[in-house]
């Protein structure tokens, strides 16, 4: 038979578990959100750089294409001779082979321009997708951190109440043991 009475349930361990698990959830959430946010921010920065480079290259290609078209248009107009006389422009001497080369070069530049635009649009989609993921991660992180904080708060609050009761019970037991034990005389002085 047990002389101390019924064994108390170890509820303080459950509340310690709640408190420490809540703290672990909060810390893990902050770490995970921070890491994922950094990775997504790097993706956004890389895609933004790709967009800027693509825009610069596409502007250059567009400028070159327009310039070649102007030269080709001037050459065609000079073949007829009418526009050159009206505008007072000096005549350009471009052979049909050079004009054909310019036409091919214009088509190649148009193709390159289209490819650059496709790269820009892909990078912009990646930026939008990464920003969406970043928003989702922050929302989930906020929910998890809040849940962890509430769990920790609940666990610490209950643990403190239980601990006070256990401390009072231990003080009473200590006082009872102290009053029950006979005082031993000390050594003679």
94-132: pLDDT as tens digits: 666 776 787 788 788 888 888 888 888 888 898 899 889
End-to-end CA, the chain: 44
- Is pLDDT larger for residue 46 or for residue 148? 148
Q: Which of the two residues, 116 and 181, has the higher pLDDT score?
A: 116
Cβ(26)–Cβ(152) below 8 Å: yes
Higher-confidence residue of 23 and 103: namely: 23
Q: What angle do CA 182, 188, 189 make, to 5 degrees?
A: 130
Q: What structural domains does the chain harbor?
A: 11-178 (1.10.287)
| Dihedral class, residue 120 (left if φ above 0, else alpha if ψ from -120 to 50, else beta) | alpha
What is this structure's pTM? 0.59
Q: Between these two residues, 187 and 124, which has the higher pLDDT value?
A: 124
Give the pLDDT score at 1.
46
Per-residue pLDDT reduced to its tens digit, 34-93: 999 999 888 888 888 888 888 888 888 888 888 877 777 776 666 665 555 565 655 556
Comparing 74 with 11, the larger pLDDT belongs to 74
């Amino acid at each position: 038979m047990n002389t101390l009475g019924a064994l108390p349930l170890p509820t303080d361990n459950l509340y310690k578990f709640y408190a420490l698990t809540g703290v672990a959830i909060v810390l893990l959430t902050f770490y995970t959100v921070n890491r994922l946010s950094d990775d997504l921010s790097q993706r956004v920065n890389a895609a933004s750089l790709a967009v800027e480079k693509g825009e610069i290259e596409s502007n250059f290609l567009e400028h070159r294409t327009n310039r070649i078209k102007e030269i080709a248009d001037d050459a065609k107009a000079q073949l007829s001779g009418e526009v050159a006389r009206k505008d007072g422009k000096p005549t350009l001497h471009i052979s049909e082979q050079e004009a054909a080369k310019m036409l091919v070069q214009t088509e190649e530049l148009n193709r390159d321009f289209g490819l650059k635009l496709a790269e820009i649009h892909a990078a912009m989609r990646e930026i939008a997708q990464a920003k969406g993921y970043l928003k989702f991660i922050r929302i989930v992180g906020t929910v998890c951190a809040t849940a962890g904080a509430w769990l920790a708060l609940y666990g610490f609050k209950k643990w403190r109440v239980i601990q006070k009761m256990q401390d009072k019970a231990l003080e009473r037991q200590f006082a009872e043991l102290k009053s029950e034990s006979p005082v031993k005389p000390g050594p003679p002085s």
